[in-house]
Amino acid sequence: MADAQNTRDRHDVVGSRHRRVDGLARLTGEARYTDDIFLPRMAIGKILRSPHAHARIIAIDTSAAENLPGVFAVITGKDMPLPYGIIPWTQDEHALALEKVRYIGDAVAAVAAVDEDTALQALELIEVEYEILPAYLTPESALATGAVKIHEKNKKGNISKHVLLEFGAVNENMRQADLVIEGDYFFQGTTHAAIEPHCAVAEFDSAGHLTVWSATQVPHYLHRELARVLGLPQENIRVIQPNLGGAFGGKSEPFDLEFCVAKLAQKCGRPVKILYTREEVFYAHRGRHPMQMHYETGFDKNGRILAVDTHTILDGGAYSSFGLVTTYYSGQLLTAPYAFASYRFDSTRVFTNKPACGPKRGHGSVQPRFAIEIQLDKAAHALGIDPIELRRRNALPAHTRTVNDLHIRSNGFLECLDRVEQASGWKERYGKLPFGHGLGVAGSTYISGTNYPIYPNDMPQSGVKITIDRSGRVTLYSGASDIGQGSNTMLAVIAAQELGLEVADITVISADTALTPVDLGAYSSRITLMAGTACLQAAKELAAKIRSSVAKKWGCAPENLTLIQHSVRALDDPDRRMPVIEAFALAEAEFGTLCTTGYFETITEGVHGDYRGATIGASPAYSFTAHVAEVRVDAETGLVRVEKIWAAHDCGKALSPVSVEGQIEGSVYMGAAEAVMEEHTTMENGLLAAPSLLDYRIPTALDTPEIEAMIVQSEDPMGPYGAKEAGEGPLHPAIPAIANAIFDAVGVRIDMLPITPEKILAALRVKEAEEKSTVRD
């Protein structure tokens, strides 16, 4: 029995270093993306965009465009007057602007033509008369008295959302604190820069049924919104998400092009494709909110956090997007991995005349994490406590509740800290490196899926169906979107593990609303936990049927059988085995066609507290991360070189360790880029300063630090095999760890992102002047 168990462990698919199901196809160029779709008679669509940051539309004349030979259809806002938006309570977008344009790049009209050149020519022929309105490019100007409302129906001027929540006696604790650190932080806006631009294709069949292929992370929500805005029955619409070339949160809500291709296809009776230009991707944006954060943190003399008091202004851009959630996340997700004795956050999201901000990898919580981790570093220095030790003293235990009543189960944070401390040689090197060379630490937490669906309902959040054909091939159907993060592989790993197969034996059909059970989409790092749980349930049920049929034939107990290495084996007699394909046939003969389903239902008990807003930020499980960054700073130029980042991430259980390491590396890369390089900013007139990948700089391989990814496995009771998220959490600590390392290297604090060389140089000069005046005194 023990031998069989050993064999079992050795041949576990879960936790093994396997190939991705789509790896070869992506590497060889065989994988088909949305823009690879060419349909007979397909027209090419283009969208006319506003050259004004804020204006009223007086008139649109499309007649010249309509008369251009080769133009099949022209549409404007009047063709789709219903507003949409990912959050049901804040639907404030139109596929094409109805009365107003709210940022440079807002969609105004769309054409479908025989080819792209003709479509572009047609756009030039559309005449739009605008009445220019004052453009508000900062939250301050948008909130000023007398400012024109960007959304006329909004109740509170240009305030998009305000949240104030308090837990415990903040004022009293702050008064009793031995040390209060006060700081102002600014997190610059950044965008996702996925390499595949947004793309959508629509086709109506002769029965009037619509198919939309789209580079989306949320086929289900897109399905619903298409039906509503187009006024079509949902059952007559099919949404398919082809292979995706990156998303990172930038494709997690419906966009203008998806409605436009559908409406244009309907109008001209041909399939229509629209592919964004890179510039349009920058206008579509939904990237990280710029946040101004005022933080006050009270500590006792041992470094324990007594009170945290934060004021945050979120620069939301022109539309709500996920902003309601972002505003909550900017406070709700700060309460781990450290215990706060009391906490208050006051967050205000403001509309401005810029591309809308939304969710980018680490939605809403990367910015506050930057602020709090520098606050902790400042406190460690003020109190003379090692920054890792200070974090240990404040670390929450496993199986606890946070100050805002989130239920944390597994918690590997201390092990993460230990791992990065050891790997980086922290004890020997921190604070002892020569001037210009430094180490910094930071920690973080993130959700493994938001606990509730975006629109309230009691149905499962994720479903999986598994079938077996007579060849022994298993086909797995899931609505979950593989956006490059490897969720299709994750599902195949679970099915292979349970059915005694290999990853390559499983075909995964995903993200097709006509074929796959509903999954809510690739956002909030929810798929491994939620779709993984659904898959495990379906696979276990199927495996049970197979074991039961074989047990019947062998006259033994089903519990005595295991499926492993393409065979069914008896645990007490390793020589007794049956090829799995025979076992499948036995089961099909006994139970009929083999097909099982599994689903993940919302957890309703104990996940969060009972106050208004308590549900936002709540998750079935939380991941934990710690980073140590090593930097070199050239004090003459102010240039920072991030040499290395050690990243330890508690993902519960690594189902695919190579994928988890890849997610850690990708996250660290993205965080380091935001720390020292990326800025999504506008010029004085509201034009984007860098709407191209030449000017919006993301690091090249030469600019990327060495990354050491370490996996910590705390095995959460809520996740499949104990798994939690790995796709977003590992980004958070990179930015403050780098900022803290810069302080260790040259003794200056840069609290405003990105940390550019001129900021460092300026801070070094101020420091130099201060030191000189101190000497004189």
Partner 1 sequence: MLRPKPFDHKTCFSLKEALHLLDDSAGGIKILAGGTDLLPNLKHRLYPETGAVLSLRNLPELRGVETQQNELIIGAGERLADLSSHPALVATLPALAATFGTIASPQIRNMATLGGNLCLDTRCRYINQTDFWRQALGGCLKSHGDQCHVVPGGKNCVAAFSGDAAIALIALEAEVELLSVQGQRRIPLVQLYRSNGAAHLTLHPNELLSRIFIPLISGRKLAFRKWSVRRSIDFPLVNLAVRMDSDAGGNVQKLVAVVGVLAAKPKVFPRLADLLESGTLDARGIETIADFLFRKCAPLPNVPYDPGYRKEMLRVQARRALHALLQEDLLSVRQD
Q: Which is nearer to partner 1, 57 or 275 (CB)?
A: 275
**Min dist. Cβ of residue 683 to partner 1 (A):** 8
Element (H, E) at 610: none
Q: Build a one-symbol-per-residue string for 268-287: x at contacts with partner 1 by CB under 8 A, - elsewhere.
A: -------x-xxx--------
Burial of 619 (0-12, 13-18, 19+ CB in 10 A): buried
Q: Tokens for 194?
A: 């996925």
Say whether 370 sits in a helix, a strand or coil: helix
Closest of 512, 531, 533 to residue 462, by C-alpha: 531
Residue 117 binds partner 1, judged by CB under 8 A: yes
Q: Which is nearer to partner 1, 23 or 51 (CB)?
A: 51
Partners of residue 113 on adjacent β-strands: 44, 71
Q: Which is nearer to partner 1, 115 or 573 (CB)?
A: 115
**Site for partner 1 (CB under 8 A): which residue of 152, 575, 758, 777?**
758
**Min dist. Cβ of residue 676 to partner 1 (A):** 9
Angle at 279 between CA 277 and CA 282, to 5 degrees: 115
Residue 677 binds partner 1, judged by CB under 8 A: yes
- Per-residue 3-state assignment (H helix, E strand, C coil) for 704-756: CCEEEEEEECCCCCCCHHHCCCCCCHHHCCHHHHHHHHHHHHHCCCCCECCCC
**Site for partner 1 (CB under 8 A): which residue of 37, 159, 761, 764?**
761
Q: Build a one-symbol-per-residue string for 120-139: x at contacts with partner 1 by CB under 8 A, - elsewhere.
A: x-------------------
Return the residues of window 682-741 that contact partner 1 according to CB under 8 A: 685, 687-692, 694-695, 697, 699-703
Burial of 740 (0-12, 13-18, 19+ CB in 10 A): buried
Closest of 738, 771, 122 to residue 369, by C-alpha: 738
Q: Which is nearer to partner 1, 582 or 703 (CB)?
A: 703
**Min dist. Cβ of residue 368 to partner 1 (A):** 27
Residue 38 binds partner 1, judged by CB under 8 A: no
**Min dist. Cβ of residue 317 to partner 1 (A):** 17
Angstrom distance (rounded) from CA 598 to CA 135: 51
Residue 418 binds partner 1, judged by CB under 8 A: no
Residue 51 binds partner 1, judged by CB under 8 A: yes
Q: Which is nearer to partner 1, 589 or 694 (CB)?
A: 694
Element (H, E) at 584: helix 580-591
Burial of 382 (0-12, 13-18, 19+ CB in 10 A): middle
Q: Which is nearer to partner 1, 172 or 695 (CB)?
A: 695
Task: Report residue 687: phi and psi, to 5°.
Answer: -75, 140
Question: Cβ distance 462 to 531 under 8 Å?
Answer: yes
**Min dist. Cβ of residue 587 to partner 1 (A):** 51
Closest of 406, 537, 360 to residue 462, by C-alpha: 537
Question: Cβ distance 430 to 386 under 8 Å?
Answer: yes
Return the residues of window 607-666 that contact partner 1 according to CB under 8 A: 634, 636-639, 641
Q: Which is nearer to partner 1, 494 or 698 (CB)?
A: 698
Q: Build a one-symbol-per-residue string for 95-114: x at contacts with partner 1 by CB under 8 A, - elsewhere.
A: ---------x----------
**Min dist. Cβ of residue 214 to partner 1 (A):** 18
**Site for partner 1 (CB under 8 A): which residue of 30, 99, 116, 184?**
116
**Min dist. Cβ of residue 192 to partner 1 (A):** 18
Closest of 474, 480, 443 to residue 460, by C-alpha: 480
Say whether 438 sits in a helix, a strand or coil: strand
How many residues sit close enough to partner 1 to count as binding (CB under 8 A)?
37
**Min dist. Cβ of residue 427 to partner 1 (A):** 28
Which residues make up the interface to partner 1 (CB under 8 A)?
49, 51-52, 104, 116-117, 120, 275, 277-279, 634, 636-639, 641, 677, 685, 687-692, 694-695, 697, 699-703, 756-758, 761
